[in-house]
Amino acid sequence: MSDALAPWNVSLTLAEHTLIVYALSVAGLALFAFFVKSWVSVNEVSGRYRTGVYAGMCITGVAFLSYVLLVLEFALGYDRKGDSWVPNANAILSWAPRYFDWTVTVPLLVIELIAVATLAGAAARRLRAVGIAAAFLMISTGFVGGVVIDSGTDTGALWTWGVISGVFMVVLYLLVIYVVVKGGRDLRGSEAAGTLRNAGILLIVTWMAYPIVFGLQGWGHGGAVLTWMQVVLSVADIVAKVGYGALVHKVAKIRSAEDVRAGVDTMPEALWISSEKRSDGVLPSPAHVAVTGGRDDLRRADR
């Protein structure tokens, strides 16, 4: 494979350059918007499922910062020459930060899903550990073949490490399917079951975009294909982080409302979904306050 086939070594037309800047900028702004939305709506979810909201905030926060870096490095990595943008030595950094992002955010996507599913205790911890490990290894092995070895220009390394990465991707797929199927069975009759299923399907389908783009790196391409690669990855990141995160957040809200109505949890304010009231505000009982207050007094005394 020649150096010219690496995506960051391809020259771009003025239109292609503009489209990539647009895609990167819109993706970054969408991620930031969802981060803010999650930040201000944390209290809409009970403590039992709040880990999923925190994971979603971390995902979109990290991804937003990676897109800021992508936009900056894309601006620095290409020089205007006539009617073309020609890559320079920094152009690889207009691509590599995606792997930095995914190394952190893909494991968090697993945490986000499990946090609102029906797994609990040791079973949840075991599955979470497997998912985090598989996600990390999937991205890191892809990074080795796609960027590290000969700056991503070795076809053999690209496909070898791509297959290894694919093995861990299969593990992740099986994990997501198991979590969603078990959740659907345990939540039968609840709206949360369908939303959890939709979140899992969305994640599985969206993830398919990444190996396809990875494969295009070894196929050879010009500026038009590189443009589509950047656009597709930007759209996939929005869907996999914002769209999926919105569904997970909805599952958390639905289950929070159901817990309040069942009397197993409390929330100080009424919970609404799409302008529809799902539960009233319920404060802890005086007995519960007395017990927890006593514990707090003991903690303060210990200090």
Note the pLDDT tens digit of each residue in 225-279.
889 999 999 999 999 999 999 999 999 999 988 888 888 877 777 777 887 877 7
**Residues 271, 257 share a domain:** no
Indicate the number of domains in the chain. Answer: 2
pTM over 0.75: yes
Residues whose CB falls within 8 Å of the CB of residue 72, separated by 6 or more in sequence, listed in order: none
Kindly list the distances between the CA atom of residue 85 and the CA atoms of 77, 216, 224, in Å, as whole numbers in the listed order.
9, 21, 13
Scored b (16 or more CB within 10 A) or e, 204-219 reads eebbebbeebbebbbe
Kindly list the distances between the CA atom of residue 21 and the CA atoms of 24, 75, 135, 268, 280, in Å, as whole numbers in the listed order.
5, 8, 28, 44, 46
Binning the chain into helix, strand and coil, the percentages to the nearest 5 are 75, 5, 15
In this structure, are residues 140 and 275 in contact, taking their beta carbons and an 8 Å threshold?
no
**Residues 273, 174 share a domain:** no
Q: What is the pLDDT of residue 142?
A: 93
User: What gap in Å lies between CA 30 and CA 145, rounded to an integer?
Assistant: 30
**Residues 208, 66 share a domain:** yes
* Beta-sheet strands, E only, within 115-268: none
Sign of CA dihedral 230, 232, 233, 237: positive
User: What gap in Å lies between CA 198 and CA 72, rounded to an integer?
Assistant: 35
User: What gap in Å lies between CA 29 and CA 96, rounded to an integer?
Assistant: 20
Mind listing the pLDDT tens digit of every residue in the chain (303 residues)?
444 467 888 899 999 999 999 999 999 999 999 999 999 989 889 889 999 999 999 999 999 999 999 999 999 999 999 999 999 988 999 999 999 999 999 999 999 999 999 999 999 999 999 999 999 999 999 999 889 988 888 888 888 999 999 999 999 999 999 999 999 999 998 899 999 999 999 999 999 999 888 887 766 667 888 899 999 999 999 999 999 999 999 999 999 888 888 888 777 777 778 878 777 777 776 654 444 454 444 344 444
**Residues 26, 150 share a domain:** yes
**Residues 158, 271 share a domain:** no
End-to-end CA distance of the chain: 64
Instruction: List the CATH number of the domain containing 170.
Output: 1.20.1070.10
**Residues 278, 139 share a domain:** no
**Residues 111, 26 share a domain:** yes
Backbone angles phi, psi at 93, to 5 degrees: -75, -5
Backbone angles phi, psi at 60, to 5 degrees: -70, -30
**Residues 275, 253 share a domain:** no
**Residues 287, 215 share a domain:** no
